[in-house]
């Protein structure tokens, strides 16, 4: 007798199975330990001497474990499967029976065995998920699961929180696993405010007992309790528009953007998370997933827009007919008449998934639709007839059948004028529409013909502008006509200016502000809209941009708000353009005519003073000093600040402080010397005490004749200077201090009273000088990596703004005296409108002590360090220092090393010892614990930790020893193990598909190849052919990639799947080496009967549209788990 338990496990892709490792065959003796090698096949047999439970526990570093089988190469596809839990496999055995186990070990390790008699069976909890004591959110509450060491039975579960109690069912799966759903209970209590966030919630499993001997119970009384903290109430759906939760609604094959039904809008009772990096997504599914390989399945991702408490899915603008979604497949099956949309990853602002009433749909909501093909049959007729002339035609009449299926903004006229293509549009508000009395499906449009000055003999094309249709197809040629262009007489195109208050040919100084330009034309009775501009013909400059005339009782007028100055010696042209109405101007129709008036200017050029500004003392900050290179001008408010302006001759000065937003402030005083050539501007210390980082002064000057001195800003009388003075009176200090780890200076700390962040001024550098020779020994460039200092009480506050930053050196500083110069503008202090650039700061510090006679020679350093800073590792526990000569460790005063994380600031200590594998030339650094957190670390070794042989021989008082040493080590995230099913070396009944878990796609161009034993290629596919697979009902849980062969292979024999190097990658995106997987088909299983008989057929979908069965025997319904399904097009609850 033999019991079979098989678990398929994945292949560790770091190394391909090696045929050079011999199989390990073991006759199991209970209690002994057996060791195996990496990539070794282990075969175990065991003869039971009494009834009981045999326990196999694997100790592989990666948790590989043994599986039971009848023997080598025996088909197990029809046998009972048993799953190991946490690397432990327990099998009930009976006296005299022989049991066989097999596993290919991907890592070296060992396993042990133990035995307990049948009457010694204990029921133990292996794990519970979520972990006890954690916060129970809506996501967790939908499935609380337990794993036991033996088969289990449970009556039910009791949920309690305070005075609230409820009883729920417990589901048992695979005999040893139990789960329950507390979501509905918890959501109800939160909604009714019977419990609140932070309260305890206890789940108690009742009458937990061993399934094969119910007298064996869990613990003392058969109950098992776990306690959680309740999370805040999840958001609930308040309303839905555009779809339905409980019935099928129509889904149109095309939605025009203006159709309100084109949007599915979900409204919740609170705001949703709006994060581009964690956005909701909508997925449309159509067809039959089983027919994907032949084009019978379609899936589409649709963006979801979040605004406040709503999530919107916009379905408009895309054709989704059957022939669009599955163009290479057609069928009359019912499954091609429905589709589904699932909106997933919906979260509240605190990151918690929304509550869902649909089973297994954490954070998501699904809808089912009937696909409805939309059609539009359009026809048209024009009056005058197509091909006739538009001369003297005032209106077109267009008859359109099914006008209601068309959406357009108006009627477009395309023509040629002056050899160039032009167009104009008559908008819908100018078109009269009436229903055809003889055909209620048709409309008659009366369209005014716009003015078009077209080239002689050319044509005009008339069509609908911005046309779209309810069926999404192009119907532009269904409503179109071509006409001969209209012909106009010269009088029709001429516009005469009959009168103007500024006469044609006249000479003027200006059209003054608050003045009016008035005129009349030869077509005032026809004109509905008129514009003008004024151009300096002499310089070809526009001096008055396009402006609109106002219609008056007797002509047209325009009010001038500013002077329009006409300069002496210049000629100006007034151009007037008239239209029938404003829409003709807005939509490109030709004007009724263009008229012109010319003027001569009389205004003489402005005469500036011959006085000049000679000097400014102290000099102002340059206006273009955006990089803050100029020294600060004002650093204290202890006294007033004076500025002297020296002019070449006597002037009068006007000056004030510009405060921004149209506000100004007075200077304390503005005075001059006796001859008015030197003016002193005084900024009072009272103003300086609260002054901004840059003080701006406006200064203007006039001479004794009243003429303005030419300045840098403005023109004529409005010419002035702006003087900038940098001021750091209000800028807080940044204090600098050293950071020490294990007595070694490892970095610099920068503190401020305000939020501290790096500036955008990219050229800034913090420089550290050696005071002995004034050379730069270290630079911290802008954009360097700083570690924020976050207080303990703020660790969970994502909005905390640190006011302390630490920079860690990547190399040690030698003993000596140093000078740090923090340049102005390296940091921003504060935020938004309350922010400053830091002042220049200087800080001096020393490292070590000054050298003197008898000092040790600290030049003894390792030749190499492993791992080096140039390579990345997944974890670090040991570091090796390779020496070029033999060495001595300081045993008199052993030194402790430190590993410091640059980002986290964490410190892990370690010890120094001789490496057992190379004790004369290698020092082994052993850390107190293994480090796996990704970070850039510094290994810090204090001075005098080791030295040469003389150092040890002199009791560590002479010879050479090490200086302070710092080395960089980078730890990156380790890749997750990958799994390929069927596993390498598997015996299978057939090859129909391959499943890849834990991989990333690295190269879409490369191809996998499936071959038979003779090397013939049976299938070849690249990554584009891999199907994305998600957990049923949960689009957030991506399971892996699947490739399905076009034809299932059942021919007995050996097969290989070749995966080229770099086609796939680990989860950390490291390329996976080439792999060759082998498979053996022994032949089809026999004796399988259809126990269901000939029952009715059913097609079954999950509630979110995933096809489970297509035209299957009705008995498959018995296999469904509890929940809602779509069966033969109807929503059915399985209980």
pLDDT in tens, 573-617: 999 999 999 989 988 889 999 999 999 999 999 899 999 999 999
**pLDDT score recorded for residue 670:** 96
Q: What is the rounded (10 degree) CA torsion for 349, 350, 352, 353?
A: 0
**pLDDT score recorded for residue 80:** 45
Count the Cβ atoms, other than its own, within 10 Å of residue 28: 18
User: Span 896-901, mean pLDDT?
Assistant: 90
Instruction: Give the domain-ending residue among 785, 813, 847.
Output: 847
- pLDDT at residue 175 tops 50: yes
CATH number for position 404: 2.60.40
For residue range 273-317, what is the model confidence (pLDDT) as tens digits?
A: 998 888 999 999 999 888 888 889 999 999 999 999 999 999 999
For residue range 820-871, what is the model confidence (pLDDT) as tens digits?
A: 999 999 999 998 888 999 999 999 998 876 444 457 888 899 999 999 877 8
Strands (E), 623-734: 641-647, 651-660, 663-665, 669-672, 678-683, 694-703, 721-726
Please provide the average confidence, as pLDDT, over all residues in the chain.
86
Q: Are 1095 and 1116 in contact (CB under 8 A)?
A: no
Q: How far apart are CA 609 and CA 708, in angstroms?
A: 5
- Is 1101 contained in some domain? no
- pLDDT at residue 1129 tops 70: no
The residue among 599, 605, 607 whose CA lies nearest residue 544 is: 599
Q: What is the DSSP string of 247-303?
A: S-EEEES---TT-GGGEEEEEESSPBP--GGG--EEEEEEE-GGGGGGT-EEEEEEE
- Distant-in-sequence contacts of 1070-1074, Cβ < 8 A, 24+ apart: 1070/975, 1071/1002, 1072/13, 1072/978, 1072/999, 1072/1002, 1073/13, 1073/14, 1073/16, 1074/16
DSSP 3-state of 686: helix
CATH number for position 164: 2.60.40.1220
- Is 554 contained in some domain? yes
The residue among 304, 233, 232, 299 whose CA lies nearest residue 266 is: 304
The residue among 946, 834, 832 whose CA lies nearest residue 889 is: 946
**pLDDT score recorded for residue 760:** 77
Reported as type and span, the H/E element at residue 829 is: strand 827-831
Q: For residue 237, report the phi and psi dihedrals to the nearest 5 degrees.
A: -70, 130
Q: How far apart are CA 62 and CA 87, in angstroms?
A: 9
Q: How far apart are CA 1057 and CA 1019, in angstroms?
A: 9
User: Span 445-467, mean pLDDT?
Assistant: 93
- Tell me the CA distances in angstroms from 1020 to 322, 1045, 1059, 1081, one per residue in order: 29, 10, 10, 20
- pLDDT at residue 689 tops 80: yes
* 755 and 659 belong to one structural domain: no
CATH number for position 79: 2.60.120.380
- pLDDT at residue 1087 tops 70: no
Query: Degrees (nearest 5) of the Cα angle 516, 518, 521?
Result: 165
Q: How far apart are CA 963 and CA 960, in angstroms?
A: 9
User: Span 1088-1114, mean pLDDT?
Assistant: 59
* Terminal Cα distance for the chain, rounded: 38
Segment among 349-353, 605-609, 882-886 with least mean pLDDT = 349-353
Total residues found in the chain within this entry = 1135
Which residues have CB under 8 Å from 330's CB, separation 6+? 322, 323
Domain residues for 907? Answer: 864-971
* 908 and 942 belong to one structural domain: yes
For residue range 1034-1077, what is the model confidence (pLDDT) as tens digits?
A: 667 788 899 999 888 988 899 999 999 999 988 877 889 999 99
- pLDDT at residue 1094 tops 70: no
- Is 1091 contained in some domain? no
Q: For residue 1101, report the phi and psi dihedrals to the nearest 5 degrees.
A: -115, 150
- Is 852 contained in some domain? no
* 216 and 272 belong to one structural domain: no
**pLDDT score recorded for residue 410:** 95
**pLDDT score recorded for residue 359:** 56
Q: Are 63 and 130 in contact (CB under 8 A)?
A: no
Count of domains forming the chain: 9
Q: How far apart are CA 343 and CA 196, in angstroms?
A: 28
* 719 and 743 belong to one structural domain: no
* 477 and 531 belong to one structural domain: no
> For residue 1116, what is the DSSP state?
G
Q: How far apart are CA 901 and CA 1102, in angstroms?
A: 48
* 481 and 564 belong to one structural domain: no
**pLDDT score recorded for residue 12:** 36
- pLDDT at residue 15 tops 50: no
- Is 746 contained in some domain? yes
- Is 830 contained in some domain? yes
Which residues have CB under 8 Å from 266's CB, separation 6+? 237, 239, 240, 310, 311, 312, 343, 346, 365
Q: What is the rounded (10 degree) CA torsion for 161, 164, 165, 168?
A: -80
* 204 and 306 belong to one structural domain: no
User: Span 653-678, mean pLDDT?
Assistant: 94
Q: What is the DSSP string of 14-31?
A: TSPPPTTSPPEEEE--TT
- Is 842 contained in some domain? yes
pLDDT band, residue 169 (cuts 50/70/90) = very high
Q: How far apart are CA 820 and CA 739, in angstroms?
A: 14
**pLDDT score recorded for residue 78:** 37
Instruction: Give the domain-ending residue among 971, 992, 1015.
Output: 971
* 433 and 484 belong to one structural domain: yes
- Tell me the CA distances in angstroms from 766 to 429, 675, 740, 890, one per residue in order: 66, 49, 19, 37
- Is 13 contained in some domain? no
> For residue 389, what is the DSSP state?
B
For residue range 108-120, what is the model confidence (pLDDT) as tens digits?
A: 888 888 888 766 7
Beta bridge partners of 68: 101
The residue among 151, 144, 139 whose CA lies nearest residue 168 is: 144
Q: Are 416 and 455 in contact (CB under 8 A)?
A: yes
* 250 and 353 belong to one structural domain: yes
- pLDDT at residue 2 tops 70: no
* 77 and 88 belong to one structural domain: yes
Q: How far apart are CA 397 and CA 448, in angstroms?
A: 9
Instruction: Give the domain-ending residue among 120, 144, 165.
Output: 120
Query: Degrees (nearest 5) of the Cα angle 1071, 1077, 1081?
Result: 155
Q: What is the DSSP string of 405-440?
A: GEE-SEEEEEEEETTEEEEEEEEGGGSEEEEETTEE
**pLDDT score recorded for residue 445:** 96
**pLDDT score recorded for residue 851:** 43
pLDDT band, residue 539 (cuts 50/70/90) = very high
- pLDDT at residue 697 tops 60: yes
* 386 and 480 belong to one structural domain: yes
Q: Which residue has the higher pLDDT, 399 or 811?
A: 399
For residue range 968-1001, what is the model confidence (pLDDT) as tens digits?
A: 888 888 888 888 999 888 888 889 999 999 888 8
**pLDDT score recorded for residue 273:** 93
For residue range 67-88, what is the model confidence (pLDDT) as tens digits?
A: 665 554 344 333 444 556 666 7
* 764 and 834 belong to one structural domain: yes
For residue range 564-574, what is the model confidence (pLDDT) as tens digits?
A: 999 999 999 99
């Amino acid at each position: 007798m033999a019991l079979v338990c098989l678990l398929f496990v994945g292949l560790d892709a770091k190394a391909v199975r090696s045929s050079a490792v011999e199989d390990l065959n073991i006759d199991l003796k209970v209690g002994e330990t057996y060791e195996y090698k990496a990539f070794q096949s282990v075969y175990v047999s065991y003869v039971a001497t009494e009834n009981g439970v045999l326990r196999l526990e694997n100790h592989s570093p990666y948790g590989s474990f043994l599986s039971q089988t009848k023997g080598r190469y025996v088909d197990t596809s029809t046998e009972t499967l048993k799953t190991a839990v946490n690397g432990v496999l327990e099998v009930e055995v009976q006296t005299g029976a022989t049991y066989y186990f097999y596993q290919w070990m991907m890592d070296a390790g060992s396993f042990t065995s133990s035995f307990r008699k049948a009457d010694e069976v204990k029921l133990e909890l292996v794990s519970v998920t979520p972990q006890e004591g954690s916060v129970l959110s809506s996501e967790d509450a939908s499935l609380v699961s337990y794993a036991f060491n033996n088969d289990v039975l449970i009556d039910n579960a009791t949920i309690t929180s305070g005075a609230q109690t409820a009883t729920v069912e417990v589901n048992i799966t695979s005999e040893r696993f139990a789960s329950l759903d507390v979501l509905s209970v918890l959501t109800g209590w939160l909604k009714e405010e019977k419990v609140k966030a932070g309260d305890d919630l206890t789940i108690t499993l009742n009458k937990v007992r061993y399934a094969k001997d119910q007298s064996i119970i869990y613990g003392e009384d058969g109950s098992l309790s776990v306690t959680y903290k309740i999370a805040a109430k999840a958001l609930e759906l308040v309303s839905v528009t555009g779809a339905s939760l409980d019935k099928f609604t129509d889904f149109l094959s095309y939605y025009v953007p203006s159709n309100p039904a084109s949007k599915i809008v979900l409204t919740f009772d609170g705001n949703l998370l709006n994060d581009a990096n964690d956005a909701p997504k909508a997925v449309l599914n159509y067809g039959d997933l089983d027919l994907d390989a032949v084009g019978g399945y379609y899936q589409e991702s649709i963006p979801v827009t979040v605004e406040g408490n709503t999530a919107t899915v916009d379905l408009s603008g895309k054709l989704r007919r059957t022939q669009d979604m599955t163009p290479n497949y057609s069928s009359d099956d019912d499954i091609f008449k429905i589709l589904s949309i699932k909106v997933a990853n919906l979260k509240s602002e605190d990151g918690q998934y929304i509550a869902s009433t649909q089973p297994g749909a954490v954070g998501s909501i699904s809808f089912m639709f009937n696909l409805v093909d939309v059609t539009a049959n359009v026809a048209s007729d024009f009056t005058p007839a197509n091909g006739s002339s538009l001369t003297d035609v005032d209106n077109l009449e267009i008859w359109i059948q099914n006008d209601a299926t068309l959406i357009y903004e108006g009627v477009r006229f395309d023509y040629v004028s002056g050899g160039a293509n032009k167009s104009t549009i008559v908008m819908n508000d100018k078109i009269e529409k009436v229903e055809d009395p003889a055909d209620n499906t048709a409309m008659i449009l009366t369209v005014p013909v716009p003015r078009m000055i077209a080239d002689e003999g050319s044509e005009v094309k008339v069509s609908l502008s911005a046309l779209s249709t309810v069926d999404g197809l192009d119907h532009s040629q269904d409503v179109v006509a071509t006409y001969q262009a209209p012909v106009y007489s010269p009088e029709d195109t001429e516009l005469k200016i009959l009168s103007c208050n500024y006469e044609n040919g006249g000479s003027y100084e200006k059209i003054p502000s608050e003045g009016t330009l008035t005129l009349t034309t030869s077509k005032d009775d026809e004109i509905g809209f008129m514009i003008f501009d004024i151009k300096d013909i002499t310089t070809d400059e526009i001096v008055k941009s396009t402006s609109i005339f106002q219609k008056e009782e007797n002509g047209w007028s325009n009010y001038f708000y500013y002077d329009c100055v006409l300069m002496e010696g210049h000629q100006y042209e007034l151009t007037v353009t008239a239209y029938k109405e404003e829409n003709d101007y807005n939509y490109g129709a030709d004007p009724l005519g263009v008229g012109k008036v010319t003027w001569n200017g009389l205004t003489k050029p402005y005469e500036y003073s011959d006085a000049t500004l000679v000097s400014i003392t102290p000099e102002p900050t340059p206006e273009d000093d955006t990089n803050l290179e100029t020294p600060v001008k004002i650093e204290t408010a202890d006294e007033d600040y004076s500025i002297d302006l020296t002019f070449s001759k006597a002037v009068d000065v006007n000056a004030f402080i510009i405060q921004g937003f149209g506000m100004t402030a007075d200077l304390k005083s503005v005075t001059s010397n006796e001859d008015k050539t030197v003016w002193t501007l005084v900024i009072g210390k009272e103003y300086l005490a609260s002054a901004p980082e840059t003080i701006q002064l406006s200064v203007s000057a006039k001479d004794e004749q009243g003429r303005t001195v030419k300045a840098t800003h403005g023109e004529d009388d409005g010419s002035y200077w702006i003087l900038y003075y940098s001021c750091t009176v209000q800028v807080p200090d940044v204090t600098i201090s050293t950071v020490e780890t294990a007595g070694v200076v490892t970095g610099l700390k920068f503190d401020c009273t305000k939020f501290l962040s790096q500036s955008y001024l990219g050229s800034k550098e913090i420089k550290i000088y050696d005071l002995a020779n004034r050379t730069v020994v270290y630079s911290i460039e802008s954009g360097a990596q700083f570690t924020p200092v976050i207080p303990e009480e703020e660790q969970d506050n994502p909005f905390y703004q640190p006011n302390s930053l630490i920079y860690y050196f990547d190399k040690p500083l030698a003993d000596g005296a140093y000078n740090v110069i923090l340049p102005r503008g390296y940091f921003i202090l504060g935020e938004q409108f309350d922010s400053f650039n830091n002042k220049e700061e200087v800080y001096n510090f020393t490292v070590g002590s000054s050298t003197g006679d008898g000092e040790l020679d600290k030049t003894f350093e390792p030749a190499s360090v492993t791992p080096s800073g140039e390579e990345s590792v997944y974890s670090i526990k040991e570091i090796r220092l390779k020496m070029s000569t033999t060495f001595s460790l300081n045993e008199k005063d052993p030194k402790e090393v430190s590993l410091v994380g640059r980002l986290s600031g964490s410190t892990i200590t370690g010890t120094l010892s001789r490496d057992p594998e190379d004790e004369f030339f290698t020092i082994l650094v052993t850390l107190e614990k293994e480090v796996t957190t990704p970070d850039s670390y510094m290994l810090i070794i204090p001075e005098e930790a080791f030295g040469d042989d003389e150092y040890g021989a002199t009791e560590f008082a002479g010879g050479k020893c090490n200086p302070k040493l710092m080395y960089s080590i980078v730890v990156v995230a380790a890749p997750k193990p990958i799994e390929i099913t069927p596993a390498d070396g598997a015996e299978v009944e057939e090859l129909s598909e391959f499943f890849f878990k834990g991989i990333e796609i690295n190269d879409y161009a490369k191809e996998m190849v499936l071959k038979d034993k003779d090397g013939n290629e049976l299938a070849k596919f690249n990554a584009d052919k891999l199907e994305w697979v998600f957990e049923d009902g949960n689009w957030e849980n991506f399971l892996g990639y699947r490739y399905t062969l076009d034809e299932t292979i059942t021919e007995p024999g050996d097969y290989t799947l070749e995966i080229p190097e770099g086609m796939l990658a680990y989860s950390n995106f490291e390329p996976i080496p080439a792999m060759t997987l082998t498979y053996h088909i022994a032949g089809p299983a026999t004796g399988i009967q259809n126990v269901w008989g000939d029952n009715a057929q059913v097609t079954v979908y999950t509630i979110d549209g995933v096809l489970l069965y297509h035209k299957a025997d009705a008995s498959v319904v018995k296999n469904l788990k509890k929940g809602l399904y779509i069966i033969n097009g109807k929503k059915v609850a399985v209980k």
